[in-house]
Amino acid sequence: MAIRNMTVATRSLDADMTVDEFKEWLRRFDTDRDGRISREELRRAMRAIRARFTGWRSRQGISYADADGDGYIDDSEVDGLIEFAQKNLGLKIVAY
Ligand SMILES: [Ca+2]
Ligand SMILES: [Ca+2]
């Protein structure tokens, strides 16, 4: 499981990711499978791509994308997280 995550994460740094690929990648870190990404889950995702300051950045990412303020990123809020990842994590995510 962990090895698989690393493979996907490494690939994401080398090539452009589509929105769907990003969502699929993110879903791998939804460890409690409630369909939402918590701050802790986002932190793990960021660690997988070797982002720096993951605790701080994951807090930033949640507050950036969490439109209804419940502390979780659900499906309708993923677009905001994509924007955040492009601006702050240097991920290249293309529309299709
Ligand atoms: Ca979750
Ligand atoms: Ca939310």
Alpha carbons 70 and 86: distance in angstroms, whole number = 23
With beta carbons less than 8 A apart as the criterion, state whether 26 and 89 touch: no
Alpha carbons 25 and 13: distance in angstroms, whole number = 12
Q: Which ligand is nearest to the CA of 26?
A: 1
Q: Which ligand is nearest to the CA of 31?
A: 1
Choosing among 1.10.238.10, 3.40.190.10, 3.40.50.261, 1.10.730.10, the CATH entry for 12-94 is 1.10.238.10
- Distances in whole angstroms, Cα of residue 35 to Cα of each of 18, 51, 70, 91: 20, 23, 14, 22
Q: What pLDDT, in 10s, does the model give residues 34-81?
A: 999 999 999 999 999 999 999 999 999 999 999 999 999 999 999 999
Amino acid at 88: N
- What pLDDT score was predicted for residue 12? 47
For residue 68, how far is its CA from the centre of ligand 1 (angstroms)? 16
With beta carbons less than 8 A apart as the criterion, state whether 96 and 18 touch: yes
Backbone angles phi, psi at 18, to 5 degrees: -90, 165
For residue 40, how far is its CA from the centre of ligand 1 (angstroms)? 9
In sequence order, what are the residues at sequence separation of 6 or more whose Cβ sits closer than 8 angstroms to the Cβ of residue 4? Answer: 28
Confidence band, pLDDT 50/70/90 cuts, at residue 16: confident
Alpha carbons 56 and 8: distance in angstroms, whole number = 23
